[in-house]
Amino acid sequence: MAGRIYSVRKLGGIIFLILQDRCGLIQVVFDKKTDNLIVGSWVEIEGEVKEEKRAPGGIELRGEKLAIISQPAEDLPIDLSKKELNVNLNTLLNYRPLTLRHEKVRAIFKIFGTALEAYGQIMRQLGFTEIKSPKILGAASEGGANFFTINYFGKKAFLAQSPQFYKQICVGAFERVFEIGPVFRAEKHFTTRHLNEYTSLDAEMGFIENHEDLMEKLTEVTRFIFEKIEEKNQEELKLYNAGVPVVSKNIPRYRLAEIKKIIKEKYGYEVPSETDIDPKGEALAGRFAKEELNSDFIFLTHYPTAMRPFYTMPDEENPEETKGFDLIFKGLELATGSQRIHDYKQLIKSIKKFGLDPKGFSFYLQAFKYGMPPHGGWGMGAERLVQQLLNLSSVKEAALFPRDVKRLEP
Amino acid sequence: MAGRIYSVRKLGGIIFLILQDRCGLIQVVFDKKTDNLIVGSWVEIEGEVKEEKRAPGGIELRGEKLAIISQPAEDLPIDLSKKELNVNLNTLLNYRPLTLRHEKVRAIFKIFGTALEAYGQIMRQLGFTEIKSPKILGAASEGGANFFTINYFGKKAFLAQSPQFYKQICVGAFERVFEIGPVFRAEKHFTTRHLNEYTSLDAEMGFIENHEDLMEKLTEVTRFIFEKIEEKNQEELKLYNAGVPVVSKNIPRYRLAEIKKIIKEKYGYEVPSETDIDPKGEALAGRFAKEELNSDFIFLTHYPTAMRPFYTMPDEENPEETKGFDLIFKGLELATGSQRIHDYKQLIKSIKKFGLDPKGFSFYLQAFKYGMPPHGGWGMGAERLVQQLLNLSSVKEAALFPRDVKRLEP
């Protein structure tokens, strides 16, 4: 058995050692004198595995031989053997190479890994092809100031804010595609919900009737992810006293206008008119869903057309509203999606209406010029999913090496 | 059944229509008069599925009802119904939204998708945790000029050339990690083997004896990927007359110095002394492996220490050579890996020896200061794997939307 010494306790002549390997913690008992048991050392231990109800995991190793493979060059500045790290966010991140070794921190990323696995698995089951779209773009076509610029051999290029155009183009070839990849947002936010680089779980599918098909699919996908986490990460969930949420087949769906009225009547809060809905509004929508509908999730639909991107399909019955939605999980936007405009001429009209120039979109428009089926998709934030599941106070805790306005390291 | 009209043929009063859906092609027969059958249209067809040995896939649909869902706004400039596209690389890429719809082009990315799936699956089976490391870096610590620079809120930042430092740091927490993600190389190459952005299949694992453990693991992983492709992509492989290569348990291993001697003696080619091995040398190593050893693969080991990155473990018996390797597939470097230096003091010495300043590596070094097990890993190019499998003339054909010195679009 090989791993790192997590903690050492001596009781009489007996040494109790907790060993951390890639699976978890195991108790090792030595009744011989054993020197040099420095916490943080990497060791190989030979011995016999025995049942022991009082040990973590129900088993312990009766140690016979111990070989030290590698040792810390300095004392550890943070005690990793405590159940709770109790360090502030800055310390947690400045000492990331070390704090990642804490069992409770590690748990976050084991769950994160399961979420990635589950997303790929369910998407493939549903007939989606995995794609990898480029992150370096020649043009920031979508507009807006939220692009990071790159020096690309002397030319100005941009970091992709999302795989949006590419996944739509790919619907024309593969009908159903998904992508797991980084997205980059040059937003000056410094909040507990935002990262300037995060992992987006994207999807785009053809032959939908409308956005309701998408919400149905997204519900299925979300349920699968949480089921997988429940199946694989019992130990990790326990460390956070967290249970996976119930994802019912019928997550409540409310129109944005409707939920704003409810929020105002129930909680006396008026969503500022210059936003579609603000974070406080989302939080209250989540509270309403939990208190009145007993659901951790709520879909908000029919966002205003003027506040969604130009490619969003307007509702035929009221073109001021879109066939778009957000999925709110415990009061936080987890995913956003919509049906897209698939008609070439309607798309050009929409681009112009948004004050943009169709010439900047020639490659994107090529797909539509030669025919596209009705389609739509979503983007879901992987870090937010884990944040909300474990009730972490900041999304930065759910990113291995988070990037924000002030943080580019480690 | 829903899909796109791939081709239309009329014979007497009967219409033979080939429909492309997300799975493949199917023949549809109409014996009634049916108008508006424009190639490229998206349609929904009702009918009865019958066995028909002469049809592709062995079945055909007897069409009864046809609804046109969406039509091209202009005639298609490229005939997608031909078996071979026969366009040059520039046209192929300039019309990517369209050419991706060709059955043979689409096949490349179905195989690519399988490779991604297989990599994740085998790595998880082997106990590796999936990670997502940041692509925006505060410092270009590794040195070299091959970094793209970013304007990060007024500060200079860099695009990750690889997840190297992060995956090593993560070994300290998870012991075994893998990542599937984009890497960015600001190399001015304009070749059939290089992309400025590609998908890297990375791994890093602790508690290895030496680099031979890694080669063994990488062999297992590579075999699994090709087995999965063989299982899932028979149709796609057939379009290229390609068979998956045999990945034997004992891929031949040659020291670099040794293979150079062989190449010189056998093929009269002297590898230029300023390189470790050049592309022509790799190609000849591949030829030697195929002709003399009947293997599509060959491991080259013991690259010179001075020509590998500072973190590479030198061979104890001859510190001028490393415990590093390249995996050559049909004469092209597919993967590169090595055992890494895990001792804190040795690592600092190596950094200095390479003329670099340890101060620039404080976060990376933190992991080593507090103890790291012996470890190593590899990076494998996903696009190259598909390129070589299908014998594509350029790696750019195996990237959905490739980036090179001249190409930033689509």
Question: Best residue in A6, A99, A136 to probe B by mutation, most B CBs within 10 Å?
Answer: A136
Do residues A61 and A27 touch, judged by C-beta distance below 8 A? yes
B188: nearest CA partner in chain A: A153
Neighbouring C-alpha atoms within 13 Å toward the C-beta of A151:
12
What burial letters (b/e) apply to A177-204, b meaning 16+ CB within 10 Å?
bbbbbbbbbbbeeeeebbbbbbbbbbbb
Tell me the whole-structure pTM to 2 decimals.
0.96
3-state SS class at A201: strand
Q: Residue B144: its pLDDT value, please?
A: 67
Q: What is the DSSP letter of A127?
A: T
Do residues A115 and A225 touch, judged by C-beta distance below 8 A? yes
Task: Give Cβ neighbours of residue B73 (< 8 Å, ≥ 6 apart).
Answer: A344, A345, A368, A369, A370, A371
Using the beta-carbon criterion (under 8 Å), do B134 and A372 form an inter-chain contact? no
Do residues B71 and B362 touch, judged by C-beta distance below 8 A? no
Chain B contact for A167, CB < 8 A?
no
**In chain B, % of residues over pLDDT 70:** 99
Res B12 pLDDT > 90 = no
A126: nearest CA partner in chain B: B22
Q: Which residues pair with B50 in a beta bridge?
A: B60
> What ipTM was reported for this prediction?
0.96
Q: Looking at the complex, report in whole angstroms how far the Cα of residue B146 sits from the nearest Cα belonging to chain A.
A: 11
Q: What is the mean pLDDT of residues B187-194?
A: 90
Bond into B134 cis (ω within 30): no
A168: nearest CA partner in chain B: B97
CA distance B65 to B60: 15
Q: Token digits for A14?
A: 């007996």
Chain B contact for A65, CB < 8 A?
no
Q: Token digits for A101?
A: 């070794």
CA distance B222 to B247: 7
Do residues A25 and A239 touch, judged by C-beta distance below 8 A? no
Beta pairing, strands B25-30 & B59-70: parallel
Task: Give Cβ neighbours of residue B313 (< 8 Å, ≥ 6 apart).
Answer: B210, B211, B322, B323, B324, B338, B339, B340, B341, B376
Do residues B364 and B328 touch, judged by C-beta distance below 8 A? no
Q: Residue A57: its pLDDT value, please?
A: 78
CA distance A400 to A396: 8
Q: How confident is the model at residue B276 (pLDDT cuts 50, 70, 90)?
A: very high
Chain B contact for A187, CB < 8 A?
no
Closest partner residue to B134 among A166, A197, A374, by Cβ?
Answer: A197
Residue A169 CB-density burial (10 A; 0-12 exposed, 13-18 middle, 19+ buried): buried
Using the beta-carbon criterion (under 8 Å), do A400 and B72 form an inter-chain contact? no
Q: What is the pLDDT of residues A1-47, one digit of tens each?
A: 999 999 999 888 899 999 999 999 999 998 877 777 899 999 999 99
Q: What is the mean pLDDT of residues B275-294?
A: 96
* Low-confidence winner among A171-180, A220-229, B49-58, B196-205 (lowest mean pLDDT): B49-58
Instruction: Supply angle C-alpha A208, A377, A367, rounded to 5.
Output: 80
Q: Given the structure tokens 């190409």, which residue do they identify?
A: B407
A77: nearest CA partner in chain B: B370
> Which residues in chain B (81-120) have CB-CB distances under 8 A to chain A?
95-98, 100-101, 105-106, 109-110, 112-113, 116-117, 120
Do residues A19 and A1 touch, judged by C-beta distance below 8 A? yes
Supply the angle between the helices A279-293 and A256-267 in degrees, to the nearest 10: 80
3-state SS class at A227: helix
Question: Best residue in A41, A152, A202, A349 to probe B by mutation, most B CBs within 10 Å?
Answer: A152
> Which residues in chain A (256-315) have CB-CB distances under 8 A to chain B?
none
Closest partner residue to B98 among A40, A97, A366, by Cβ?
Answer: A366
Q: Residue A228: its pLDDT value, please?
A: 98
What burial letters (b/e) apply to A280-310, b meaning 16+ CB within 10 Å?
ebbbbbbbbbeeeeebbbbbbbbbebeebbb
Using the beta-carbon criterion (under 8 Å), do B371 and A71 form an inter-chain contact? yes
Chain A contact for B187, CB < 8 A?
no
Q: What is the pLDDT of residues B219-228, one digit of tens each?
A: 999 999 999 9
Do residues B335 and B218 touch, judged by C-beta distance below 8 A? yes
Closest partner residue to A370 among B72, B110, B188, by Cβ?
Answer: B72
3-state SS class at A183: strand
Phi, psi of A67, rounded to the nearest 5 degrees: -120, 130
Chain A residues with CB-CB distance to B106 below 8 A: 173-174
Chain B contact for A172, CB < 8 A?
yes
B138: nearest CA partner in chain A: A408
B197: nearest CA partner in chain A: A134
Beta pairing, strands B149-152 & B129-130: unpaired
Count of other CB atoms within 10 angstroms of residue A222: 24
Please give the domain boundaries of chain A with CATH numbers for all domains: 2-75 (2.40.50.140), 103-398 (3.30.930.10)
* Low-confidence winner among A387-396, B9-18, B161-170, B373-382 (lowest mean pLDDT): B9-18
Parts of chain A with a pLDDT under 50: none
Res B334 pLDDT > 70 = yes
Phi, psi of A187, rounded to the nearest 5 degrees: -95, 135
Do residues A163 and A130 touch, judged by C-beta distance below 8 A? no
CA distance B170 to B351: 20
Chain B residues with CB-CB distance to A150 below 8 A: 148-151, 159
CA distance B271 to B276: 8
Chain B contact for A151, CB < 8 A?
yes
Chain B contact for A76, CB < 8 A?
yes
DSSP string of A291-337, one letter each residue: HHH--SEEEEE--BGGGS-TTBPBPSS-TTBBSEEEEEETTEEEEEE
Closest partner residue to A40 among B98, B370, B400, by Cβ?
Answer: B370
What burial letters (b/e) apply to B249-259, b meaning 16+ CB within 10 Å?
eebbebbbeeb
Q: Residue A252: its pLDDT value, please?
A: 98
Task: Give Cβ neighbours of residue A36 (< 8 Å, ≥ 6 apart).
Answer: A68, A71
CA distance B309 to B338: 10
Using the beta-carbon criterion (under 8 Å), do B153 and A186 form an inter-chain contact? yes
Closest partner residue to A199 among B132, B153, B343, by Cβ?
Answer: B132
CA distance A366 to A372: 10
Using the beta-carbon criterion (under 8 Å), do A129 and B110 form an inter-chain contact? yes
Task: Give Cβ neighbours of residue B203 (< 8 Å, ≥ 6 apart).
Answer: B123, B128, B167, B176, B177, B178, B179, B217, B218, B221, B377, B378
Chain A residues with CB-CB distance to B109 below 8 A: 129, 131, 173-174
Closest partner residue to B373 among A69, A370, A401, by Cβ?
Answer: A69
Using the beta-carbon criterion (under 8 Å), do B174 and A22 form an inter-chain contact? yes
* B172: nearest Cα among A302, A109, A404: A109
Question: Best residue in B19, B78, B150 to probe A by mutation, most A CBs within 10 Å?
Answer: B150
Question: Best residue in B152, B196, B343 to probe A by mutation, most A CBs within 10 Å?
Answer: B152
Chain B contact for A245, CB < 8 A?
no
Using the beta-carbon criterion (under 8 Å), do A182 and B186 form an inter-chain contact? no
Q: Token digits for B307?
A: 């020509």
Chain A contact for B189, CB < 8 A?
no
Q: What is the pLDDT of residues B117-174, one digit of tens each?
A: 999 999 999 999 999 999 999 988 776 678 999 999 999 999 999 999 999 999 999 9
Q: Residue B143: its pLDDT value, please?
A: 65
Q: What is the mean pLDDT of residues B228-254?
A: 97
Q: Looking at the complex, report in whole angstroms how far the Cα of residue B242 sits from the nearest Cα belonging to chain A.
A: 21
